[in-house]
Amino acid sequence: MEYFALLMFLGVGLILLTGYPVAIALGGTALIFAFFGTLLGIFDSTLLNLTPERLNGITTNVTLIAVPLFVFMGVMLERSKVAEQLLDTMAQLFGPMRGGLGISVTIVGMLLAASTGIVGATVVTMGLLSLPTMLRRGYSPEVATGTICASGTLGQIIPPSIVLVLLGDVLSSAYQQAQLNQGIFSPETVSVGDLFAGALLPGLLLVGMYIGYLILLAFIKPDSVPAIPKEDRADNMGELMVRAVKVLIPPLLLIVAVLGSILLGVATPTEAASVGAVGAILLAISQRQFNVTILKEVMTSTTKITGMVFMILIGASIFSLVFRGFGGDEAIEHLLTDLPGGVMGAMIIVMLIMFLLGFILDFIEITFVVVPIVAPVLLAMGLDPVWLGVMIAINLQTSFLTPPFGFALFYLRGVAPKEITTPQIYRGVIPFIIIQLLALVALSIWPEMATWLPSVIFDS
């Protein structure tokens, strides 16, 4: 039975490589294996009777209502031209220093990450707006593309991130399951708000390390990150500062309203997401980028993305049910607990597997398929759920950047000028991958980076 479970996991991986729709691949593979397992007498088909109950749990999950709201917020902000104004203003502000344009791209990437939480949209937007400017100003193609890819993936880790919303829901169930398996019948819970708070400091650490790398480049390779020529800079610094404040205030207010309301305990993530959706509409209106046509396009895009997420979740739920029916969860538990190195050895293996899966699977599939299988085992071994969630998020962010299959690289390749070669993009992201790995090592040595803020905010 356990071998059948592992074969099922291998089978769905092979089907996904063919490009078949993920939701159908997950659910279809599970049902095919369940059919043959029933014929061979090694699978109890009555387990499938739990499917309606599971689907009802998905559709009535209040936390997951935040997903379409955050998606709507991100797509609306993408249409409001906020990124364009931010990039232009920040470039003028930091332009006089070497590496200033790269720093401005990183800061805008951080603000967009905290406003939208959608990696693909951020990388494409930054690629279209900032890459031509950086190349025209004399930036090395490697530095320009690496900075854009890295800052674009900050939406994976900086809250409010859709990754963290989905991870929070999955880890909450896994944490309760791990405690019940240990005989704890009044289990503690972990919320999306806990993950948001836990990811904040590591996310800001990554931003600081990106900026530190660009400042270092300004000293050791100044020609790769030149300053904006004096004749192209703003003449009146006072007017530029006023303009910067005007451009920064709207997105910062939106970030404070959404993230602040969650961290202060004023609103749940779902309630805060609705505030963000309304705030994005008001921001678009203030930028004169709102009409019925734009609203229709945003709603259509939101419906498509949300439908994809929930279809994958339904397929993953069926897959998980059949996988457990074959004893796959027990096989994974035996595998991880028998590894040399104890809990740390198990954690390293899981991180490595997720990193490699990130080359071929999107974060949604990994969150819904892999995390529910391995998280209960790791949490039963004593790991902190918030720390585990942040480590997974940074790990997936790193795989988004890693050649040859990193999703962020594909997003940028699709909008980059023809003179930018794929090897240049690959070389450009290598320093940022090293930064990501250093951040993972730092977080593994000092888990308090992820656990301190949630304990201060929610346990006080």
Over the range 295-326, which residues count as b (16 or more CB within 10 Å of their CB) and which as e? Answer: eeebeebbeebbeebbbbbbbbbbbbbbbbbb
pLDDT of amino acid 14:
82
pLDDT of amino acid 124:
79
Averaged pLDDT for residues 328-343: 78
In a domain, 315, yes or no: no
Q: Residue 339 gets which letter from DSSP?
A: S
Closest CA relative to residue 109, chosen from 167, 73, 158, 143:
158
In a domain, 79, yes or no: yes
In a domain, 180, yes or no: yes
pTM, full prediction = 0.83
In a domain, 324, yes or no: no
274-303 pLDDT tens trace: 988 898 899 888 888 888 999 999 999 889
174-190 pLDDT tens trace: 888 888 877 777 778 88
Number of domain units in the chain: 1
In a domain, 430, yes or no: yes
Residues 6+ apart with CB under 8 A from 336: 346, 349, 350, 374, 377, 378, 381
Least confident of 12-16, 98-102, 411-415: 12-16
Find out whether 85 and 130 touch, Cβ atoms under 8 Å.
no
Least confident of 141-150, 357-366, 445-454: 357-366
Find out whether 35 and 240 touch, Cβ atoms under 8 Å.
no
In a domain, 336, yes or no: no
Tokens 């909450």 — which residue? 172
In a domain, 368, yes or no: no
In a domain, 349, yes or no: no
CA distance 123 to 81: 15
Closest CA relative to residue 404, chosen from 426, 382, 383:
426
Q: Give the percent of the chain with pLDDT over 70.
A: 95
| Boundaries of domain holding 99 | 45-299+384-458
